[in-house]
A and B are shown apart, each in its own frame.
Chain A
């Protein structure tokens, strides 16, 4: 198994559907701080659901000037139903076609199972990875590492509201 991309690396460019008829490109987020959270699958039937937890922590992420993107190999329709059911207020990217291409470019794809790793990347306003973390696939990594990493970044020059 390879290694996930490490701090200092430029984040690979990508574009993927966020809704059945809308795409999001990493270049749309240039100048913003982005938390990219790869996870194996929508509809994990546990109370410790990572995306639901992050949804609750969203105001804290935004206070620290970061946007959150969830990403898995599920399709856009699946994401839409999942986001609606859990009232998620952040975009979910569909790394669906070609399957897992984005996860692979971050070193976060599990060939055997055909799903993304549970991996976190914090990308700064210049498009560079400043922090990354690979969690065991069955363990929700929580939000403490992301918040610590965000707090460790220099203050943003301009407010991004």
Chain B
């Protein structure tokens, strides 16, 4: 059973309190149609559990299949530097069907971010190491496709429907102590 080997840390984008009984970590690719479809489901899950759930999103771009996944991830990180990660994250997923470099710049502009600064960040690959580190942490944890979810450190092999995720999170939440994260690094 695949286990998350890298617990949530200061570099992660996190929603929810640190002492929530259940932690959900997602590895995703902004150009993956399944990840795009999963985001509204995740939003339902977040609304359902509120402060009882901590959620983090990490990048897992399969660049050869999805050439825009990495630039999109770097763009979200750029927005994150301006405390706008989740706004950019939602905007990219909402516009997944028409993703392009121009669309990324347009979304950044709509959030009031400086396009010139974004261009430099992308050209210099300023956020590439963070995206790469996310990807490798996923590889080492057994991410085998996107989206890939870990619930209190265990890979969720069910579907990404809100119904399935809520059921799995509820099951873990009832007995959280039995599901401790086993760090093997």
Contacts and interface: CB of A to CB of B under 8 A. Distances in A.
Nearest to B148: A48
Interface centre among A53, A87, A140, by most chain B C-beta atoms within 10 angstroms, is: A53
Contact of B64 (A86, A143, A145, A147): A86
B69 to A, nearest CB: 10
Best-buried of B32, B62, B143, B144 by chain A (most CB within 10 Å): B144
Interface string B55-79: 0000000111100000000000000
B139 A144 contact: yes
A142 B65 contact: no
A47 B65 contact: yes
Contacts of A156: none
Contacts of A144: 2, 139-142
Contacts of A48: 144-146
Interface centre among B63, B140, B157 (most CB of A within 10 A): B140
A56 interface: yes
Interface majority SS on A: helix, strand, loop or mixed? loop
A60 B136 contact: yes
A3 to B, nearest CB: 21
B33 interface: yes
B139 A140 contact: no
Interface string A34-59: 00000000000011111011011100
Interface in B156-173: 157
Does more than half of chain B's interface fall in helix, strand or loop, or is it mixed?
A: loop
Given A53-B62, A56-B62, A56-B63, A46 B139 contact: no
A141 interface: yes
A142 B143 contact: yes
A86 B65 CA distance: 6
B119 interface: no
| Contact count band on B | 20 to 34
A49 B2 contact: no
A139 interface: yes
A47 B146 contact: yes
Most buried by A among B34, B63, B65, B136: B65
B139 A143 contact: yes
A57 B141 CA distance: 13
A42 to B, nearest CB: 14
B39 interface: no
Given A47-B32, A47-B33, A144-B2, A52 B64 contact: yes
Interface in A48-99: 48-50, 52-53, 55-57, 60, 86-88
Given A56-B62, A56-B139, A142-B142, 6 more contacts: A48-B145, A49-B145, A52-B62, A52-B64, A56-B135, A144-B2
Interface of A: 46-50, 52-53, 55-57, 60, 86-88, 139-145, 147
Q: Closest 8 CB pairs between A and B?
A: A48-B145, A142-B144, A140-B144, A87-B64, A144-B142, A142-B142, A47-B32, A143-B139
21 contacts: A47-B34, A48-B144, A48-B146, A49-B65, A52-B62, A52-B64, A52-B65, A53-B139, A53-B144, A53-B145, A55-B64, A56-B64, A88-B64, A140-B145, A142-B2, A142-B139, A144-B2, A144-B141, A144-B142, A145-B142, A147-B140
